[in-house]
Structures are given as C-alpha cells and as structure tokens.
A = this chain, B = another copy of it.
C-alpha cells in the first residue's frame, strides 16, 4: 500500500482556491514547509491543531510513497507585535517580564513545545530551523531586496515597499485582498515615520538600547523582520520554488502574502506551488480567546482544570477529536463533542483488539477491498479524515458482527482488515494505544472475582466465618469489597 497506485492525491490550494491534483516538482521528493511556533509563551491549542493537521499530511505523503523533507521553523526572534506596538519584539518583552535572558525564554518554551508535540504523537520534522540560526542569510536577503529596488533604508531600518512591488507584481493574490482597498483602509504612518507607506513592512528593524536581542548589520544594530525568516529558511532547505507551504489561516495575511512578495522581489521566483491553511478553533461556538476566558491550554484540556471543562481528556482523545473534523473547517470544542470522541475512540480501539482473535470462516459477506479503497479515496480527497474515520467505523461494525457470529470473513480478509486498521489508525492518523492491554488489570479483576464467588458460596451455605475470612484476606492486600444491590464490587483501599 505504500506506493502511489491508490490514485492521485488532491489538496485544496489556498492560492487558487481550488482542489488540485498534487504533483511534486521533483518526485519522489516533496518539500513541505510549515510555520512553527513563536517560543515566547506556551503553545496554544490552535497550534496543536495546526501541527497535528500537517503531521497527518506528512504521514500521508510518506505513506503513499513520497520522500518528504518537512521543515517547521522555530521563531525565536523578530516576531513583531504589529503596528500598534511598533516593532517591539515579543521575545524580548517576555524576557524582561520574567527577568530572564531572552534565549532562556526561548529554551524553556521550545522544550515545552516539543513536550506537547510528543504528547500528541506528532512526528518530528526533518529540520527545525531557528530564526537566530539564519541571521546571515536574512541580512543577505534584505540586501537582495534592496538591490532589486523593492525596499528602502530608513533610519537604520529597511522596509519593503508594498505599493511599488504591487504595481509590478501584484499583491494580495493569496489572501484575496486588493491593494487599493488595503491602502484605503490603512491608517497613515503616524508614529511610524520611518515608513513611506502604511502598508510597508520592516524586513530589518533598528534596535534601541532597550532591545535585548539585536545584531550588527550593514544598517546598524537591529533585528530581522518577522516575515523574513520563513522566506529564508523555506527556500534554503527546499529550494527557491518548493511544493507545499502550510500554516494556520491567520497567517495567510499578512505573513504569507509578505513571504511571496519577499521571494519574488529578492530572487524573481514564486516560492510556493501549493498553499495549505488550517482553520480556527472555537469553544461552544465562540472564538477561543484569552480575553473571553474561554481559551484553555493543551494541559488544561488534558487535566480538565478549566471552568469550561467537565473533565480531562486523554491526548489521543483530543487528537481523534481534531481529526474527526476536516482541517479546513472550524473545529468547535464542547464537552459533549469531546465525550463523544472519547467513546468513539474507545469503540475503535476495542474493535482493533478483537481483530486478531476473530474466527475465520470459509466464506465472507463483507467487501474489505472496497472498504480499503474508500479509506484511500477519502485521504486522497484533500485529507478527508472525517470521512476516512467514518469508513473505519463501518469496519468496526463488521468486526463486531463477525465477533458476534452475525457476519463472516475468511482468513485473508481478516488479515487485510487488520492491515488496513493498523495502517490508517496508527500510521496515518497517528493515534497510539494509551492503555497497553498487558492484561494486568483484567487478571487482577479475574482473581478478585474468584474470591468474590468463594465468599458468595460461603455465605450461601451460611459459613460466615469463611466468608469473613475471604473479605479479610482481600482487605490485607488493599482490596475492599462492597455489597450493592447489583452484587459485590471491589476497589483499591
């Protein structure tokens, strides 16, 4: 199953707004770049969704036979706060608040980010480059843009001249914005006197003495503009034009729009062939936001320690829940939906545990081949994980029916069904067993049930000394028996 025979893979290209057949530039190689986290605070749940979506893309491309170089950067400098904060660097801000060296902040949150990625079973990218690791290259890209005439130096900063660029190459194609409307809707350059036009963005920013992260450059001491690093790192590792660039849809404008402009201005090359954007999270139908108090962290979702959460959910429950929704749709968190996902995942896993023990028949009354084809078709249709999962539940129905003796499968089809489930559940969806079924708990329960029977028998023959002896023996081992109207249950004391 690990070749490209299962039909072409289509994905929605945000640039053309169309579902297109994916044809890589240099098969079997695929270059994939995803905008990674800014490591000045804990990773939020929206990041987890984005990176989980691209993790499934990465897994799928590898599964259908491509050799993928997956680059996901770490933004450890230069993430501007936007015009309001006028170029203040978020990392430096966090550092001052915590009285730490900026790179200590970076290290802390990078480690935290990696821990969360491991928790949700996301694979490591092939390369995880940092903005600070590519300063020379960023300075050189600024020089190339200056040389091409689409940037200007102003007071030790360098700005990208958006109107000038737009006139020659157009601007706004990815996000569907029109330069005239953008210009009309943008306030003046008040408080930003370095800029010629309000739309211009810094590709190099001068640093005042209050800045902790800064480097020497041909324009004085400063730091790179945020949009620059992704242009530099994606093309350095994937080539001046590469296959897929992804990120959350909030990055479409201005970040990705600016990336395109930078590459075209510096190197005359359109950098990306397929753009892919993941959609946002909501909670009970409302946008997740700090100010609304409905923005729980990944840790809170797992522990249940948030006022909107009735309980905690396991990492695989969260992952399964996310993948039951298409990456391009809004994903709405609610306790009801999470609990439904928890039950669904338990049903799926329970059926998978039955699979190896299913009794083979001579005949079969389920078409496993067709089921497999529908799973592949769903994934090849723009990574349609919800449809693929629905097909897996059709498989669950078959497994349970065979187990109940209401349907039959021959040995070859049982084996094929097992392969399909292992592939789709573990390799492609990236789920993993959370409770290793080493049987410890069930053996323990089996032994205790034997004692409960013995005690019941002793009671039935009115040998209360014997029945009390059983209870006391278990109590000494820390097992407490409870007599209820439904019979005797037990728990750890």
Given A69-B101, A107-B128, A444 and B440 touching (CB < 8 A)? yes
CB distance from A214 to the nearest CB of B (A): 11
Most buried by B among A103, A114, A124, A216: A103
Most buried by B among A130, A133, A446: A133
Q: Which of A417-458 contact B (CB under 8 A)?
A: 439-440, 443-444, 446-448, 450-451
Q: How far is the CA of A133 from the CA of B71 in the complex (A)?
A: 17
Kindly report which residue of chain B lies nearest to residue A128, judged by CB atoms: B107
CB distance from A110 to the nearest CB of B (A): 8
Q: Quick one: copies of this chain in the complex? A: 2
Query: Cβ of A125 < 8 Å from any Cβ of B?
Result: yes
**Is there an interface contact between A107 and B135, defined as CB atoms closer than 8 Å?**
no
Q: How far is the CA of A294 from the CA of B208 in the complex (A)?
A: 56
CB distance from A139 to the nearest CB of B (A): 8
Q: Which of B69, B106, B130, B439 meets A478, CB within 8 Å?
A: B439
Given A133-B132, A440-B444, A444-B444, A127 and B104 touching (CB < 8 A)? yes
Kindly report which residue of chain B lies nearest to residue A215, judged by CB atoms: B136
Contacts of A125 in B (CB 8 A): 107
Q: How far is the CA of A133 from the CA of B439 in the complex (A)?
A: 49
Interface size class of A (residues with CB under 8 A): 35 or more
Query: Cβ of A16 < 8 Å from any Cβ of B?
Result: no
Contacts of A473 in B (CB 8 A): 450
Query: Cβ of A165 < 8 Å from any Cβ of B?
Result: no
Known: A101-B237, A440-B444, A443-B492. 8 other contacts (CB 8 A): A69-B101, A103-B127, A107-B127, A130-B130, A443-B477, A444-B447, A446-B477, A450-B473
27 A-B residue pairs with CB within 8 Å? A69-B104, A101-B126, A101-B237, A103-B127, A103-B129, A103-B237, A104-B127, A106-B127, A107-B126, A130-B130, A130-B133, A132-B133, A133-B133, A135-B135, A136-B136, A136-B139, A137-B215, A140-B216, A439-B492, A440-B440, A440-B444, A444-B444, A444-B447, A446-B476, A447-B447, A447-B448, A447-B451
